[in-house]
Amino acid sequence: MIHVFGHKVPDTDATCSAIAYAYLLRQTGKDAKAFRLGELNKETKLVLERFGIEEPPLLENAAGKDVWLMDHNEFEQSADGIEEANIVGVIDHHKIKFSYGKPITYIALPWGSSSTIVAKLFEIYGVEIPKEIAGCLLSAILSDTVIFKSPTTTDVDKEIAEKLAKIAGVEDIKAWGIEMFKAKSSIAEKSAREIVLNDYKVYEFDGKKFLINQVEVIDDSEVLQRKEEILEEMKRIKEEQGLFAVLTMVTDIMKEGTTLLVVADDYEPIEKAFSKKVEGGAIWLPGVMSRKKQIVPPLEKVFQ
């Protein structure tokens, strides 16, 4: 059986692309099942609830299993035991940091979500998309493209989202998107630690480890009034995990910009990457919505 799963700290795209692709594999005669690599966030739970889909089971370890990686390709972001797994394929929309000892199926397109690619594959295989899966894929596109506001959005994402919305019976795409983001951004009852580890990925630039987290909110004031507490927690996590830096992107999807909270051994390379000084532990970055397109590349460049 092929175990299909997205990255650790699962988001809606990682989860829905896995659910949909496992279904497509089964329709094409393969034995496949979707899994998750961690606790689902509130947004993803809302999506699965709305469209009546069960949560995929947790995969503890991938060693010795046939696996299909969705929405990621870096082993650091993948399942424990991935080095001893048999990778059958990858479907992803991130930068490629992958090499493997034998030929496999690797589908990468620079589209707004992995779910957009999966929806396209249904078309290519001539498999009808069930209503609930269409709803799941649509929601993942809205999540990853921040309701089409992120610079990662392509025309294909919009076009496919329209089609999926019709199948899923979602009349007002934007209204649904905002409802999803509200679910995700209700942080009032979250601890500072939960905020910092909300949606994070760990990167290595020239041997220096960065934990980069993103919180997407409708109104950033709720998070920013807890800035000092959050910075303290970031410092703690940096020490605990022996990191070079912990960054928290507080992305306001209405203002269309990000307040980047920064804790680092050395601020200079980070200030250089964004051509701005860190003031009070933060840098305001107007127009910045995407970690992979607007935060990771400038950092990578500075450390090259």
Q: Site residues (CB under 5 A) for Mg ion?
A: 11, 13-14, 71, 113-114, 144
**Nearer to Mg ion among residue 55 and residue 271 (C-beta):** 55
CB of 47 to Mg ion, least distance (A): 13
CB of 291 to Mg ion, least distance (A): 7
**Nearer to Mg ion among residue 269 and residue 288 (C-beta):** 288
**Nearer to Mg ion among residue 142 and residue 237 (C-beta):** 142
* 3-state secondary structure at position 6: coil
CB of 101 to Mg ion, least distance (A): 26
What kind and span of H or E run contains 198? none
**Nearer to Mg ion among residue 94 and residue 238 (C-beta):** 94
Long-range CB pairs of 57-63 (<8 Å, 24+ gap) are 59/3, 59/5, 59/35, 62/3, 62/5
CB of 90 to Mg ion, least distance (A): 13
- What ranges in the chain are assigned the alpha helix state H? 12-27, 42-50, 114-125, 131-144, 155-168, 173-185, 192-196, 221-224, 227-241, 268-274, 296-303
CB of 114 to Mg ion, least distance (A): 5
**Nearer to Mg ion among residue 142 and residue 231 (C-beta):** 142
**Nearer to Mg ion among residue 211 and residue 269 (C-beta):** 211
Q: How far is CA 142 from CA 44, 82, 161, 187, in A?
A: 12, 29, 8, 20
Phi and psi at residue 101, in whole multiples of 5°? -80, -5
Looking at beta carbons, which residue is closest to Mg ion? 13
Is-contact 83 75, C-beta < 8 A? yes
Burial class, 168, CB count within 10 angstroms (exposed 0-12 / middle 13-18 / buried 19+): buried
Token pair, residue 32, equals 């496949």
CB of 13 to Mg ion, least distance (A): 3
What is the bridge-based pairing of β-strands 32-35 and 2-5?
parallel
**Nearer to Mg ion among residue 109 and residue 127 (C-beta):** 109
CB of 8 to Mg ion, least distance (A): 10
What is the bridge-based pairing of β-strands 66-70 and 2-5?
parallel
